[in-house]
Amino acid sequence: MAGSPYASALGRLEPEFPAFLGKEAFSGLLAAKDPGELAKLLETTPYSDDIVRARTTHPGGAMLEVAVNRTFVRRNRRAYDATPYAGRRAVAAYLGRWDLENVELILSSKAHGRPVGETEDHLVSSREIPAGLYAGVMTLDDFRGLLAQPTLEATVAALVPFGYGATVLPLLEAFERTHDIFPVLAALDRQYYHDVLEAARFFQGDEWVVRSLLAGEIDVRNALLLLKGKRSEVPATDLLSRWIPGGTVAAEAVGDLYAARGVPELADRLAERFPSAPEGTEEFRATGNLSGYELALQRERVVRELRRLRTYPLSLAVIFAYLLRNEIERADLRRLTFGKLYGLSAEQLAKLLIAPGA
C-alpha cells in the first residue's frame, strides 16, 4: 500500500498521538483534591492554553468543561484536515454527532426549562467554533439562536432549515401531549446512525473498519436499552420502537433476550455477544444501578475497536483511531471533573473512567 492516500494522514496524525494523556497523567489527575487542583495539573498538558483562556470567563467546573471541549474540537479539526478526499464524506458524517449532541442538549434543556446560560456552557465548541462546523452546517450563532427560542416547539421549527425537521416535526404533537422528550432524541439518534452508515458505504475498500466501529457503538446502545427496559419492565414492543438499526444484534433477537427473568439473567444472555456484560451484576444487585453494565460494555468496545483500528494504519482507520482516542479522553476528563465536584474519592473515580490513557 505504498501509494495509499492515507500515508500523508498517518504522517500528520502519528506524531499527535503522544499528546493524549497517558496512564501516569491520569493517575496524577485522580489524586487531585478538587476541580481547582485538577485544572492546575492540566495546565502542564496540551489543555494549558484553553484552561488559561477559559479561566477568565468561567468559574469552577464550567471552566474545565469549556476548556476540555475546546481542545477536543481543535483535535477533531486536525483529524478532518488530515483526511484525504476519499474519506472526507465518512469523517464529516461521523463528526456531525457533535452538532447533534448540541441539538439534543438544547432540546432537553428546553423541555426541562433549564437556563440559557447554563446550557451554552456545555455546548461542544472551541471558542466561537462548534464541533461540527467543519462537517455540519450549524455555527455557534445558530445554536445560540436555538437557545433564544421561547419554547421547545419554536426551537423545533427553527431546526427545520438545518435538516432536522423531517425527523422531529412528526413527533412534536406527541411531545405536546406527553412532554416526553425521549422519543424525539431517539429519532434523531436513529437518523444520525442511518446517515453515517450510508456515508461509510464501500468506496475505497477500507470503510468496513468505520462500519464495524459504528456497529459496535450501536450494539452497546441497544444492549443498554434492553437492560434499562428490563429494569423498568417496559414491554418488548416499546423497546423495538426505540431500537437502533445497523448493529450486529438484530431486532429479531430481542424476544429471546428479553424473555430473561430479570436484569442479571439478561446480562448473562448478552454475554454471548458482550463477554463483559455480567461484570455489572454485582453493582446492580447492591444498588439497582445500571452504571456498572454501561462501563463494562463501553470499556470492552473501546479496547476492541482501538486494537482493530491500529491494525490498519494506512487506511481510514488511522483517522478514526485518532477520533476515538479524542472521544475517550474527553469522556474521562468530564467524569473526573464532575467526580471532583461531587467529592468522589480517587478510588471511586477510577472505577468510573472508561479507558484512561488508552
If asked whether residues 120 and 146 sit together in one domain, one would say yes
Domain count across the chain: 3
User: 262 lies in a domain?
Assistant: yes
Is 184 in the same domain as 256? no
d(CA 211, CA 207): 6
* pLDDT attached to residue 126: 42
- CATH number of the domain residue 161 falls in: 1.20.1690
Q: Is residue 8 part of a domain?
A: no
For residues 93 and 183, state if they share a domain: yes
For residue 120, being part of any structural domain is answered with: yes
Residue at 117 is within a domain: yes
Phi-psi region of 6 (alpha: psi -120 to 50; beta: other; left: phi over 0): alpha
pLDDT attached to residue 116: 58
Buried b (16+ CB within 10 A) or exposed e, 76-89: bbbbbebbbebbeb
Helix-, strand-, coil-residue percentages of the chain, each rounded to 5: 70, 0, 30
Residue 354, in any domain of the structure: yes
Residues 38, 130: one domain?
no
Cα 42 to chain center, whole Å?
Answer: 22
Instruction: Name the domain boundary from 195, 227, 244.
Output: 195
In order along its 358 residues, the chain shows pLDDT tens digits of 446 788 898 999 999 999 999 999 999 999 999 999 999 999 999 999 999 998 888 877 788 988 998 899 899 999 999 999 888 889 999 998 888 888 888 888 888 777 655 556 566 654 444 444 444 557 777 888 888 888 888 888 888 888 888 888 898 888 888 888 888 888 999 999 999 999 888 666 678 888 999 999 999 999 999 999 999 999 999 888 889 999 999 999 999 999 999 999 999 999 999 999 999 999 999 999 999 999 999 999 999 999 999 998 888 999 999 999 999 999 999 999 999 989 999 999 999 999 888 8
Q: Is residue 38 domain-shared with residue 64, that is, in the same domain?
A: yes
Within-domain flag for 163: yes
Residue 221 structural domain = 208-315
Q: What pTM was computed for the model?
A: 0.89
Residues 356 and 296 placed together within one structural domain of the fold: no
CA angle, corner 193, sides to 188 and 199, nearest 5? 125
Which set of grid coordinates corresponds to residue 87? 474519506
